[in-house]
Amino acid sequence: MKSGFKTIDCDRHVVEPIDMWEKYLDPKFQHYNVQMGGRFTLATRIGGVLQNDDSLGSPGSGMAQDPIWRKKFKNGMTHNFEPQAYLEDMDAEGVDLAICFTGIGLYATWGDDLDPELSAAMCRAYNNWLYDFIAYNPERLKGVCLLPLQDIELASLELKRCARELGMVGIFWRPNPHMGRLMSDRAYDPIYAIAEEHGVNISVHEGIQNRLPWFPENRINTHFAHHAACHPMEQMAASLAMCSGGVFDRFPKLTASFLESGAGWLPHWLERLDHQVENPMLNEGYGGKEKPSEYFRRGQGFVSCEAGEEGLPMIQRSLGAGVTMWASDYPHRDAMMDFPRGLDILTSVKGVTPEFMQQLLWDNPARCFNLKV
């Protein structure tokens, strides 16, 4: 609890142990030689080939080499980010309940050229490890699963297992085109149907430096520009696809969250889309039955904010209190400067009501992830 508010962190990352693949990957796939890229890493090697180059602590690079990061997350590092240390850092920050997102899964199982059977095995391995992790305190830790989206049938089978047997509350979903498909592609409808049936959230979360197409890859040449641009731009494209592609109409009880991109882009984006829908000269090809803002107002779309966002009063004014949640991004780059004061900073934002803050910190994520709390 913080400043009198019960709190849910809707995007809190785990740090997978260096031996996770060795312990959890089906031995039938040992010949692929799947390994972590290092300790405290986001990187995976398959057959010696690095799947990405964005890591927490690969030798000589990554956040774990940064002295600020090491100081801020000393407790987690010292104890390998195991569940007890994870919960201690939640307590230090004032977080009552965390939605647990992957670290290595930002990259490891994504790629059009990855063998679907291997991707499925890696997803099962991660999901089993995460289940064991959250079992340490299932009242406070909730899991978001990985799916092998290279193959819809394999992904559907794994989602059923994760929903029915593992109690997962979300699907980690990269917003980027995958196998040439946008998020509105009807090929995904079987997955959306299962998610709707079981109340599992579509948890849209971008990453950087990977093998998927991304915005705006032909317009930038620095890490600064890459990280600043790809997160909100990919989320704008993903929310556009979900609204204009009719996904929220086909699955009226489905929820989607657009995470780790801040929230300030959403009011402008929905206002622009609404105006275009209302203009008969500009709405050709729009496939939604409602204006985009309506899907958010009626509780199907959610967005995460970061500590201290000055755009929150605008969201309260234009979209109401029911769309925004808080995401720490612990223990990744976006969390480094604010931890453990993120909630202190957030609850000090001027211009929003206590009711708005209560919904942001508890009610909205509870609805978004269908939590029985």
Structural domains of the chain sorted by starting position, each given as residue range(s) with its CATH number in brackets: 8-12+67-368 (3.20.20.140)
pLDDT tens-digit series, residues 235-274: 999 999 999 999 999 999 999 999 999 999 999 999 999 9
Which pLDDT belongs to residue 104? Answer: 92
Q: Work out the average pLDDT over 173-193.
A: 98
Cβ-based neighbours of 348, under 8 Å, separated by 6 or more: 308
pLDDT tens-digit series, residues 204-229: 999 886 678 988 888 888 888 888 99
pLDDT tens-digit series, residues 4-60: 999 999 999 999 999 999 999 999 999 999 999 888 878 888 998 877 754 433 333
pTM: 0.96
User: CA-to-CA distance for 45 and 53, rounded, in angstroms?
Assistant: 10
Please, which pLDDT band fits residue 281 given cuts at 50, 70 and 90?
A: very high
Q: Say if residue 127's pLDDT is above 70.
A: yes
